[in-house]
Amino acid sequence: MRLSKAWTVASKDFKTFTKKKGILYSSLYFELVVSIGLPFLVLYISGKPNAVAALPQLLNAFSFLFVIGAALLPVSIASYSLVGEKVQKSLEPLLATPTTDEEILAGKSIAAFLPAICSSFIGALVFTILIDLFTYSPLKYLYFPNWDFAIILFLLAPLVCILAVGFNVLVSSRVNDVRTAQQIGYLIILPFGAVYFLTELKVLTQTTNNLLIMAAVVAVIDGIVFYLVRATFQREEILTKWK
């Protein structure tokens, strides 16, 4: 596989997104709320009496939202990237070029993965700075960085992001319009949302070990989804069965 070809495909999608800003903006609202809105909520709460003891648990819970963000952010981009090609009927001329299926798939995946993970990292940076700034005084120590957040950000979030991209490729092969692809694609958030609420309900606990186990499970699912995506993203399949 030639990475330069994959990058050409991805660059074209980046260019498209800069012209269809709605696709990018729709992905960024969540990131803005988490990385800026939540620290201000924490600032408000930390001023309340007896709030200091509850702060670590609250910040732990908020950290997990970056996993949900990693599942959410690539959905609109991945949906548009593939279903957009279907709608514009541009897959046939694209597949007629001397570009392999793997290079096209890699390009499409990079186009969805890179903006999502970059915005996650930038959001996380803003989040950690603001949280440390607002909580240093009541906690008397810097809450971030910590190992759990590092696992969430550098291991779990990328794996979840890959899963969301793969899931959306599978969804895109079965639907004909971008909105339907997005609506179905957002279902990928459900298992991670469930983990978040079960943690809040104290059914699960967010420990380093649990996060590592979760990362391992997601990695295995990534492998299965990758296998399915490779089987689906075949030029003959695309031209004759992707309706």
Question: Is residue 235 within the footprint of another protein (CB under 8 A)?
Answer: yes
With respect to another protein, which residue has the nearer C-beta, 58 or 95? Answer: 95
Distances in Å between the Cα of 238 and the Cα atoms of 36, 103, 111, 223 are 41, 15, 19, 21
Residue 8 touches another protein, criterion: CB under 8 A: yes
Choose among 108, 241, 99, 87: nearest CA to 169.
Answer: 108
Decide: is 36 part of the binding site for another protein (CB under 8 A): no
User: Least Å distance between CB 193 and another protein?
Assistant: 32
Cβ closer to another protein: 16 or 183?
A: 16
- Candidate segments 5-13, 153-161, 170-178, 203-211, binder of another protein by CB under 8 A: 5-13
Angle between helices 21-32 and 55-87 (to 10 degrees): 170
- Distance of closest approach, residue 165 Cβ to another protein, in angstroms: 21
Tell whether residue 236 is a contact of another protein (CB under 8 A): yes
Smallest CA-to-CA distance from 33 within 138, 100, 118, 130 is with 130
When the beta carbons of 112 and 211 are compared against another protein, the nearer one is 112
What is the DSSP secondary structure assignment for residue 154, as one 8-state letter?
I
Helix, strand, coil share of the chain (percent; to 5): 85, 0, 15
* Structure tokens, 54: 């509850």
Contact 199, 205 (CB under 8 A): yes
Q: Cβ atoms within 10 A of the Cβ of 158, count?
A: 19
Q: How far is the CB of 178 from another protein (least distance, A)?
A: 13
Count residues near another protein (CB under 8 A): 25
Determine the length of the chain. 243
Please report how close the Cβ of residue 40 comes to another protein at its closest, in angstroms: 36
d(CA 42, CA 137): 12
Output 103 or 222, the one with its CB closest to another protein: 103
Structure tokens at 140: 């008397």
Q: Name the segment binding another protein (CB under 8 A); options: 4-12, 66-74, 180-188, 205-213.
A: 4-12
Instruction: Map tokens 């309706």 to a residue.
Output: 243
From residue 61 to residue 100, what is the string marking binding to another protein with x (rule CB under 8 A)? ---------------------------xxxxxxxxxxxxx
Binding stretches for another protein (CB under 8 A): 5, 8-9, 12, 15-16, 19-20, 88-100, 235-236, 239-240
